Amino acid sequence: MTTFSARRQVVLAGAAVMALAGSSLGAFADSSSVPVTTLVATGTRTLSVTDVTGASIGTNGLPLGTGHGGAFLVNVTDTRYKNAGYQVSATMTNLYPYATNAFDFNGTPIPASAVSVSYPSGLLDLVNIKSLVTPVLHLTGSLNLGALPLPISIDQTVNGTATMAQSLANTVTKSTLAAALSQLPVTLQTGDVGAFTSAAGLPGEPTAHPNPTSLNLMSGNAQQPLASALVTALNTTYGGLTAQQLVTAGLVDQNAVISAVAQQAGITPDLITNAEQTAIMTNLTGTINALTGSVLGQTGSYNTMPALAIDVPTSIAAGTYRGQLVVTLMDK
């Protein structure tokens, strides 16, 4: 009767011989079910409209007219969000006389066409843009396994796990946008200028406004960022780390590393002892060779600073007027 250890050594030796001889089991066929997990980026994409300091616009609203710049910040932030484009647009209502927290729809309004959008600050930037990608790792090293008399040299590629890669500076401004464009998972375009020719409706307004003017404030298209730049960025951070460090960093799964080594040794992973696993994780180092498939998603924020200007008709009576700017974010 042979012990498990003796049997294992026989199997290892046999497997090694088979691996060296390049033989295969040929006609043998079997089937089994293997659970496969696929990462789907299910993060978040949020819209934020604030005053120019980033503070929320209070109940008094955004003041326009003499002495007021009418500028505001539009921010779209992705957190591991799927690789999709976006568009931020705005509509404007007429501005009605407003007192005691109520619109006077009987009064003569300032038409929405008196309000126009421009971008006097020229602010258009991206902050901390990272692409969610699956790296392909190249693992190399030398180690002893089982009864094999000589150390075997490991040279395997392994699919890693989804990882954030940042190849760009933390802030990309309008002046550096053109140079960075190819590395963006979602591009960035400035918006429209001009007046809100047709008004949108206010809640409770007796007049219907079925076709309001919608002005684009900012938009972006999904694209595949330059893979080589992302590979370089990943190697800058992770290149040369041990398999254990790569696992700790979340770049690769330990089972994938063990399986790759077992495959090269011609054995099944369950025949590798705990001590040998430790040796594998310590002795192998990895670099990032390439990326697998398409970019899965991205993290980062996109910002612009439009400004509203108003040209009040001379026929408008003195008083306080109020309307609503509705800013809408949509995927595209």
Partner 1 sequence: MRQDSQTVPVTVTVHAPQHHPSGHPGGGLPFTGAPLDVMAAIGLVLGLAGAAVMTAVRRKSTAPPTARLGSPA
Contacts with partner 1 by CB under 8 A lie at: 45-49, 57, 59-65, 72, 84, 92, 95, 98, 110, 115, 308, 310, 312, 316-331
Which among 161, 272, 294, 313 has a CA at the least distance from the CA of 227? 294
Min dist CB 311 to partner 1, Å, is 11
Min dist CB 37 to partner 1, Å, is 24
Bridge partners (DSSP) listed for residue 141: 154
295 vs 325 by CB, closer to partner 1: 325
Min dist CB 104 to partner 1, Å, is 13
Min dist CB 212 to partner 1, Å, is 13
- Which positions ≥6 away from 115 have C-beta within 8 Å? 64, 92, 95, 195, 196, 308, 309, 310, 323
Integer Cα distance of 48 and 72 in angstroms: 10
249 vs 327 by CB, closer to partner 1: 327
Task: Report CA Rg, the chain.
Answer: 30
96 vs 238 by CB, closer to partner 1: 96
Min dist CB 56 to partner 1, Å, is 10
Integer Cα distance of 213 and 197 in angstroms: 6
- Residue 72: CA count within 13 A, CB half-sphere: 24
64 vs 145 by CB, closer to partner 1: 64
Both tokens assigned to 14: 């046999």
The H or E element that residue 30 is part of is: none
Could you give the 3-state DSSP secondary structure of residue 250? Answer: coil
Sheet of 86-92, strands arranged across = 86-92, 215-220, 189-190
Min dist CB 304 to partner 1, Å, is 14
91 vs 166 by CB, closer to partner 1: 91
Integer Cα distance of 90 and 197 in angstroms: 12
226 vs 327 by CB, closer to partner 1: 327
